[in-house]
Amino acid sequence: MKKSVVAMSLSMLLAAPGIALAAGKNPISVHILNQQTGMPAPHVAVTLEKKQGEKWTVLNTASTDEDGRVAALWPEKPFEAGDYRVIFKTGKYFADRKQESFFPEIPVEFHISNTATTYHVPLLLSQYGYSTYRGS
Closest CA to 104 of 35, 30, 34, 44: 44
pLDDT of the residue at 16: 39
- Can you tell me the mean pLDDT for 18-25? 52
Q: Are 81 and 113 contacting, i.e. CB atoms less than 8 angstroms apart?
A: yes
The radius of gyration computed from the CA coordinates of the chain, to the nearest angstrom, equals 18
Q: 85 vs 6, which has greater pLDDT? A: 85
43 is in an annotated binding site: no
The answer to whether the annotation marks 69 as part of a ligand binding site is yes
Chain-centre distance for alpha carbon 111: 13
Topology of 27-132 in CATH?
A: Immunoglobulin-like (2.60.40)
Q: Is 119 annotated as a binding residue?
A: no
pLDDT per residue as tens digits for the range 33-76: 999 999 999 999 999 999 999 999 999 999 999 999 999 999 99
- Asked if pLDDT for residue 15 goes beyond 50, the answer is no
- Domains of the chain, by residue range, sit at 27-132
